[in-house]
A and B are shown apart, each in its own frame.
Chain A
């Protein structure tokens, strides 16, 4: 099913976006392609353009800012978008600098462009950027949402991956009910569309994001009858030096705490939602106290009426484009995989840089520092010592945060055999247990082949961490390898057919 005509093939770097200022990209394309317009990508592209590199910035979303700086569409005319953000002025300052670079023809911005595939290609003519021996061809898909889709390609001598993260979910009975949403999803819909999933919203899971989500939901008018953290906060106190080195993080915690207190929301630690109830939508949840391994303690169950539940268990770096290219990963203390980068934000693939959550979830401030640092080394410069020190302090805090909120193995104690683990393919726990215990599956891939868990639309983004845990439980399992997929997101057959064969 061929779609509307794509941009002319071979015109790498053509500026087909109306209103955008084209960068005069010749046959060799751009110096740098930045994938992702969140904090890391914005900081990276601005700092790279400051250093004279010709850049293209691509993002799948319709606006700049990524998930962190997600904000209402211009048509909603929000006079105070800052009220849903910390450090909003950082974003407006970066946006201003980006606009200047666009006007000067140093940066082109392509929004609503999904980068589906990155290929290494020899780029004739231009000298390599900082030791990269080849260049890159980015295959994009745009207009996916509206159906007026087209494919495109962009050539660049270096790539900065700033693709961010999505949320980690741990299943529980009833988590597929309408009205049960991810904590970040509730936040995203509020920030962009000024809507709430319900009026009485329980917030649960683990990680500091929950504090921000609960505070903004309450500020926007929701009643938040419970805010439940499955882990604790005391773990931070084990590393007082790491904590003291990032006073901004403490201040942020105080701001959230004050906002929550203003709305009479008191966080409870070592508590989780172990079941959501309802038929057409969530009507109530059962919460329970957890032991240190996150196993629910019998007799502590309590039912709370609500019409929505915002739940999440931390974030998972989004790595598809890099792992397909063979970039090495490391295991973060929270059990997720992140890209392995050196002091200059270089991945193990020459010519491929990464910054922000792709290198391990650490928040916007760290992402900004890493984006700037990557830009310096891409331009062949030595990054300022102060920037390196800031990155080191914030990265140390990120590792501490990951360890503090790492899911305990006892979470499987709240599952029942009927609990759906894979939302897309509707695979219940019983089928996964059968695959592991009776059919001998010992890893997520085998479980997937036997049960279809992770084979649906989302390609395991929602159930992957849970399936890996269930597949490896107790077997002295090896660290899971990164998924390698030829495409970063589902691609239409028509778009595939349009990919040039060279």
Chain B
């Protein structure tokens, strides 16, 4: 008899998590699953997405850096509101997240 092989090492397996079914958020028009309780940044990381804004000066890609709300690198436009810290913001079903360009207030044309 073969010994049962251990499953793949994953964060969820490590802590024996059995989350409820994923809900869906939208990122730049693409449907993204998010587990209940995950922040928007966590949901994006889970899909291998690590950049969701561009910088004001150089237009460079950025995403979550400090993960605790101190660095403000993880800003995105969420449901039309720019400059939201996605590492602190829980993902709610149906949230629309769009890559934020620059300061996020392009519509003001300032």
* Interface residue ranges, A against B (CB under 8 Å): 60, 62, 67, 72-81, 83-84, 144-147, 166-167, 176-182, 184-190, 192-198, 219-221, 280-281, 308, 423-426, 456-458, 461-462, 490
Contact = CB atoms under 8 A, between A and B. Distances in A.
B106 interface: no
Given A185-B66, A194-B17, A221-B10, A458 B71 contact: yes
A80 B88 contact: no
Q: How large is the interface on B (under 10, 10 to 19, 20 to 34, 35 or more residues)?
A: 35 or more
Interface string B12-46: 11111111100000000000000111110111011
Interface string B46-75: 100011000111101111111111111101
Nearest to B18: A77
B67 A184 contact: yes
B90 A62 contact: yes
Given A145-B88, A178-B63, A84 B72 contact: no
A280 B61 contact: yes
Interface in B70-84: 70-73, 75, 81, 84
Nearest to B53: A178
A177 B89 CA distance: 22
Contacts of A180: 65
A77 B19 contact: yes
Given A181-B64, A426-B57, A76 B19 contact: yes
Contact of B69 (A60, A190, A194, A424): A60
Nearest to B36: A75
B20 A178 contact: no
Nearest to B75: A457
Given A146-B89, A194-B42, A72 B15 contact: yes
Given A79-B18, A176-B60, A195 B11 contact: yes
B87 interface: yes
A461 B42 contact: no
A220 B66 contact: no
A189 B67 contact: yes
Nearest to B58: A426
B38 A76 contact: yes
Given A76-B35, A197-B45, A190 B17 contact: no
A494 B35 CA distance: 33
B71 to A, nearest CB: 5
Contacts of B13: 221
B8 interface: yes
Contacts of A67: 68
Contact of B70 (A76, A179, A195, A458): A458
B65 A75 contact: no
Contacts of B43: 193
Contacts, number: 170
A185 B61 contact: no
A48 B11 CA distance: 36
Nearest to B9: A221
Contacts of B60: 176, 426
Given A76-B17, A189-B42, A194-B42, A166 B66 contact: yes
Given A78-B12, A178-B51, A220-B14, 16 more contacts: A75-B37, A80-B15, A145-B90, A146-B89, A166-B68, A167-B66, A178-B63, A185-B65, A186-B67, A190-B11, A192-B39, A194-B10, A195-B45, A457-B71, A462-B66, A462-B70
Contacts of A426: 55-58, 60
A145 B85 contact: yes
B88 A281 contact: no
Among B13, B70, B75, B81, chain A packs the most CB atoms within 10 A around the CB of B70
A467 B68 CA distance: 22
B43 to A, nearest CB: 8
A462 B71 contact: yes
A189 B45 CA distance: 9
Contacts of A197: 45, 50, 64
B14 A219 contact: yes
B67 A423 contact: no
B40 to A, nearest CB: 10
A84 B51 contact: no
A461 B71 contact: yes
Contacts of A221: 8-11, 13-14
Nearest to A146: B89
A75 B46 CA distance: 16
A78 B15 contact: yes
- Residue among B8, B15, B62, B81 with the highest chain A CB neighbour number at 10 A: B15
A491 B35 CA distance: 30
Interface in B83-106: 84-85, 87-90
A74 B37 contact: yes
Contacts of A74: 37
15 contacts: A73-B37, A76-B12, A76-B36, A76-B38, A78-B12, A78-B17, A145-B85, A178-B50, A178-B51, A179-B63, A185-B68, A196-B45, A220-B14, A221-B8, A461-B70
A73 B9 contact: no
